Structure 1
């Protein structure tokens, strides 16, 4: 899940990048935008990968972009996640 907090959704977008060595299927869902008491907003985007696809992924990156500004990125590598 990628969370945007204390912002204005008309200015920002959240997107995902999935790095892998093969073609995989994944889906993204977005939460409703919530207006906070301070007049700013919170919203999130969730990436879902089938269990059989997760083993094919090298990393996933959430990217927050505001207009044409340089984006903010957070990357999670598969080897950073505990195995269940």
Structure 2
């Protein structure tokens, strides 16, 4: 923030690890042959945390879309990422993970297992 004649205040929050929540595809969507998963990353700092997906343990960029980060009133950032698969890919994946990463930090991971999600 810059005040008045140019006094600048820098607030250093350090690194804050985001919390991840992964939402599985709906039963109705799976019955139609597709599977959309949503990963919500909230409360991270700085804004340079990136969010990615792993399907069956391998990184996946196909069928992925990301929102822009949103700065909350608390000074932390949130964003979402969506992964689109076929219902068959979802069932055969074994596991699907959302991973938030930042250089120099261990990643934050949230994993879903298709077998444990009701259809």
The alignment's TM-score, normalised by the length of structure 2, stands at: 0.57
Mapping of residues 2-81 of structure 1, within 5 Å: 2-7=39-44, 8-10=46-48, 12-19=49-56, 26-81=62-117
Gaps of 5+ in 1: 21-25
Q: Which has the higher contact order (CA 8 A, sep 6+)?
A: 1
Map of 1:23 onto structure 2: none
Instruction: Provide the aligned length of Structure 1 versus Structure 2.
Output: 78
Q: Distance in 2 between matches of 1:74 and 1:58?
A: 14
Whichever of the two has the greater Rg, that structure is 2
Question: Residue 91 of structure 2 contacts residue 115 of structure 2 at CA under 8 Å; is this kept in 1?
Answer: no
CA RMSD of aligned residues (A): 2.0
- The Cα of 1:53 is off from its aligned counterpart by 2.3
CA distance in 1, matches of 2:77, 2:109: 19
Unpaired stretches in structure 2, ≥5 consecutive residues: 1-37
